[in-house]
Amino acid sequence: MRYYRGNFSNFGQSFPWIGLGLVLFGVIIFLFPRILVAFIAVPVIMAGIVLLSKWFHNRKNNSYTYIEL
């Protein structure tokens, strides 16, 4: 177990930027809630496209009983 003297390595120096980013992110989500929907929907849609393309690829190879990831 390591013991840090003072603050935790470099976290204290980068903390204002982390806080500023979180505040800006919160303000943007508060002003434009649809952006949050896009943050959730876009990866889900992309993952669905990838899984469907793998499924169709496997169907073409006549092994469509399971999905190879």
The pLDDT > 90 percentage for the chain reads: 16
Q: What is the mean pLDDT of the chain?
A: 76
How many domains does one find in the chain?
Answer: 1
14/41: higher pLDDT: 41
Asked, for residue 15, whether it belongs to a domain, the answer is yes
pLDDT at position 59 is 74
- Which strand (E) or helix (H) includes residue 64? none
Q: Structure pTM?
A: 0.44
pLDDT in tens, 4-24: 555 555 555 666 777 888 888
Asked, for residue 17, whether it belongs to a domain, the answer is yes
Domain ranges, residue 21: 11-60
Residue 29 near residue 35 (C-beta atoms within 8 A): yes
